[in-house]
Structure formats: structure tokens, C-alpha cells
Amino acid sequence: MSRAPLIALAWAALLAVHTGVLIAFGGDELPVLLLGGAAAGAALLGLWLAWRGRRPARPLPELSRFAALAGASVAALVIGAELGTWLVLIAAGALALAVVGLLQERREAARSAAVRAAATPPGAAHARAAATPPGAAHARAAAAPPSAASPRGREVAS
């Protein structure tokens, strides 16, 4: 079972508890309805996710925590224009950290690509031959009828 329904249902339970606390402390009608509606919506989402079942996983692109930090830092810079210099300075520091991390990731990716390129022998035929298990070409040649092989009736392994 996927964890997605459990997460949505746990969130719905937390919102429902907060709704109950708000009702117990005599909250106004609108906040109680909004919080209760959010709890009901999260519960419906969790039930739908559980009903839908598990689907095959889709490949996700490679994600970078430094890219996420850079995005959040830019958003904090914009918000800091309104809230004050303190948030601008924190966001600028976080953005600097994100840029350094992104540069480091880029350098590591280039280094690993260079290592892979150095380890890969030149020529596509050689790479294809390396991927073929030993003896597979001979097994195909023995299984093929003589007319399907080479003109002399047998296949020559390279």
C-alpha cells in the first residue's frame, strides 16, 4: 500500500482534532467551518487515494535540495522587501548557500560524467559486445538454421 493515503488521512485527523479544540474553546462559526471543511476535504482525498490503489511508479526527474533552497530564498527575498531587512539578510545567506551547493552539484556531475566517459570503451560495437553475455553469440549461431546464418552456413563470431 502506498503511503499517500496515510499521509492525507493523518493530516485530516490532525485538522479534525484542531477543529474539536476550536469548538471546545468556543470559536466563531466561520473558522470552525473552514477548519472542519479542510479536515473533511483531506479525509476525502485520503479515501480517494486509498480507493484508487497503487499505480506503477513514474520516473521522477533528479531533484536537488539546493534548487529548492534557491527557490525558497528568492521567495523570501521578495517577502523580505515588505517585512524588513532581517528577512532579506537571512534569505540572501540562504541563496548564497544554495548557489554554492548548486555549483558543487554541477562540478560533481561533470566529474562523474568524465569518470563514466573514461571507463566506457570507445565505439558502440564494443559497448554492445560488453553488454552481451559470454557465449550468447555462439548460442544464437548454433540455434539458427544454416540458411539464416552466413552464406557458408555458419556464423562467424567477432
d(CA 71, CA 53): 33
pLDDT at 17: 96
Mean pLDDT of the chain: 80
Question: Reduced to 3 states, what is the DSSP secondary structure of residue 57?
Answer: coil
| Tens digits of residue pLDDT in 125-149 | 455 555 555 555 555 555 555 555 4
**Amino acid (1-letter code) at residue 144:** A
| Tens digits of residue pLDDT in 78-134 | 999 899 999 999 999 999 999 999 999 889 888 888 887 777 666 654 555 555 555
Between 3 and 79, where is the model more confident?
79
Q: What does the block give as the cell for 43?
A: 479525509
**pTM, 2 dp:** 0.40
Angle of helix 29-52 versus helix 4-24 axis, rounded to 10:
160
Instruction: Give residue limits of the domains in the chain.
Output: 4-52, 65-119
